Amino acid sequence: MTDFCSSPFYYKRNPTREIIVGNPSDGGVIIGGDNPIVTQSMLTADTMDTEACVRQTVELVKAGCQIVRITAPTVKDAENLKNIVGRLRSMGIKVPIVADIHFKPEAAMEAVKWVEVIRINPGNYADSKKFVLKSYTEEQYKAAIERIEQKFAPLVQKCIELKRAMRIGVNHGSLSDRIMSRYGDTPQGMIESALEFARIARKYNYHNFKFSMKSSNPKIMIQCYRLLVKELKNLGEDWNYPLHLGVTEAGEGEDGRIKSAIGIGSLLCDGIGDTIRVSLTEDSVHEIPVCNELIKLVPHLTIKREQISSEVLSELGRYSFPFDPYSYKRRNSAEVITSRGVAAGGTNVVRVFVTREQFEQLPDNLKNHPDIKPEGIFELEKIIEVNPVGEIGNIPQGVFVTVSDTTPLPPITAFRLLAAKLNEMGINNPILLKDCWGRDNLPEVDTLLYSSVNIGSLLCDGIGDAIMVRAEKDASKALKLAFNILQSAGCRSFKTEYVACPSCGRTLFNLQEVTARIKSRTSHLKGVKIAIMGCIVNGPGEMADADFGYVGGAPGKVNLYVGKTPVKFHVPESEAVDRLIDLIKEHGKWTDPPSESL
């Protein structure tokens, strides 16, 4: 058994306690334990617009959403939850409602009267964030915790009285100055931020809560949840609270789906997760089918202990993770030159291979495109295919190693075992990742999500020097998907990357329209990362590794950032995209768009 899951090779769901959300016999749900994974989403409407909130909630419920979240940034918004929930209940809509609280404890105290769940963000619930780092003595730190308890304890007591649930939801982008000062912008800091509030809740014998550890970076998100489960196990059996999964600010379209699949899918395959939300910069109803598909994928991507023969199980028991699951480090490998004259392995970026059949099907503009092109052709490369179960045998230098299509294990399990055995044998040949063992045995699933989880989770484990997507039938789509997986997993950058939050009632501009406008002007900027944030709640923090940021500062006004630093304030929205372009030019990141785009 590992620190956070039963085995790196077979599936077993992480055991968590049950929490009650609403009345399970009358529209509520039970989260955790052996209960099915629950899907949720969030409204994009203004919380003061009762009819719009009711309409969007009804649409989400029809789409299969099991929990609906509504922002309550002010006491006035929180008061209107009474009207929203009242209208829904009068219509027979009994889906549990979550009030999303950030800066105002008084809003939480009002909202808790009307909703089944309160979500608080430890980074800003009781802290006024000033982005100032200072040293805290033990006495000062203790005093800060006592101040938090004074603000948080009344909500805990009210949740006990009204039988409400809670989500202690940490965001990578909004850690408090106190946490940042002591732990920095780290997974450990995120965990401690959550545990500070959990300790207070437990002090009052309140246990009806779950945790979340969201980040826009799938690697960070995966590491945080793994480390949190480890910490909870170390704290004791009664710390086994349910976990809500999500990649925040994932974006839109394929990019948002791929990034979410990598982060959420990887953890689900490790047995972690009791509720999930896919955060897309799209209408909320589009999130639910992706949630359902990710849950549906898990049995196709994993293998259970009872499905493995005793001989193979005995062999798997000899190995643990072939990498540090709490800190990303790419596996060391030797360099190899591909048939296309490209260096792979070593310190080179992860390469993209195609089959000969795929290569022949590609249009000429993709065969030698400067940004998206095949960098290896499977049948022309020096590759040894092995079944990692049993003896691997001798592997000469200068060749790739991959798993054979006859391997009786799913890809994630098989490649982890392969990496473990190569490490044990001192073999540093580069590894070629496959998303499937061939289309003939491929289940009826969403191939984009299927490939993203299989390959993306391994890349986030540090395994893989080249990848090959075969699940997608269309050769051009398969090639582009491979590059998009690499970008979403943070392995290479071949195009502009956007960190875009999903709309909510806090958003100060139309995110979908603004995102489309920014993309139309900047999508040719290879390697540039732009964050588009509807409000200040997660803005600067989630833009930690972005080059530029476009953040709603006030109605009709936008603040522009370079990295985490605000450089232009209250820019009229009508001018903001032009001023963003000016900033990109000032910092030497601008190139004129090509006459033809891919």
Instruction: List, as one string, the DSSP characters of 442-454.
Output: --SS-HHHHHHHH
Torsion angle, alpha carbons of 99, 102, 106, 107, to 10:
-30
Measure Cα distances from 337 to 380, 386, 398, 399, 415 in Å.
12, 21, 8, 9, 22
Q: Domain limits of the chain?
A: 19-306, 319-488, 497-586
Mean pLDDT of 104-127: 94
Mean pLDDT of 42-54: 96
pLDDT at 502: 66
Mean pLDDT of 480-505: 84
pLDDT at 1: 46
Task: Return the structure tokens found at 86.
Answer: 């009242």
Euclidean distance between CA atoms 27 and 62, whole angstroms: 14
Q: How confident is the model at residue 130 (pLDDT cuts 50, 70, 90)?
A: low
Report the chain's mean pLDDT, rounded to a whole number: 92
Instruction: Please name the helix (run of DSSP H) or strand (run of DSSP E) that holds residue 533, with its range, or none.
Output: strand 529-533
Q: How confident is the model at residue 536 (pLDDT cuts 50, 70, 90)?
A: low
pLDDT at 506: 62
Domain 19-306 has CATH 3.20.20.20: yes
Q: What is the pLDDT of residues 273-316, one digit of tens each?
A: 999 999 998 889 999 999 999 999 999 999 999 999 999 999 99
pLDDT over 70 for what percent of the chain? 95
Q: What is the pLDDT of residues 455-488, one digit of tens each?
A: 999 999 999 999 999 999 999 999 999 999 999 9
Euclidean distance between CA atoms 221 and 216, whole angstroms: 7
Does pLDDT of 238 surpass 90? yes
Mean pLDDT of 237-248: 95
pLDDT at 598: 44
Fold type of domain 497-586: Sulfite Reductase Hemoprotein; domain 1 (3.30.413)
Q: What is the pLDDT of residues 219-233, one digit of tens each?
A: 999 999 999 999 999
Q: What is the pLDDT of residues 137-185, one digit of tens each?
A: 888 888 989 999 999 999 999 999 999 999 999 988 788 888 888 888 8
Q: How confident is the model at residue 132 (pLDDT cuts 50, 70, 90)?
A: low
Using the structure block, give the residue that is written with the tokens 């090639």: 479
Does pLDDT of 134 surpass 80? no
Instruction: Please name the helix (run of DSSP H) or strand (run of DSSP E) that holds residue 41, with its range, or none.
Output: strand 38-42
Does pLDDT of 596 surpass 60? no
pLDDT at 42: 95
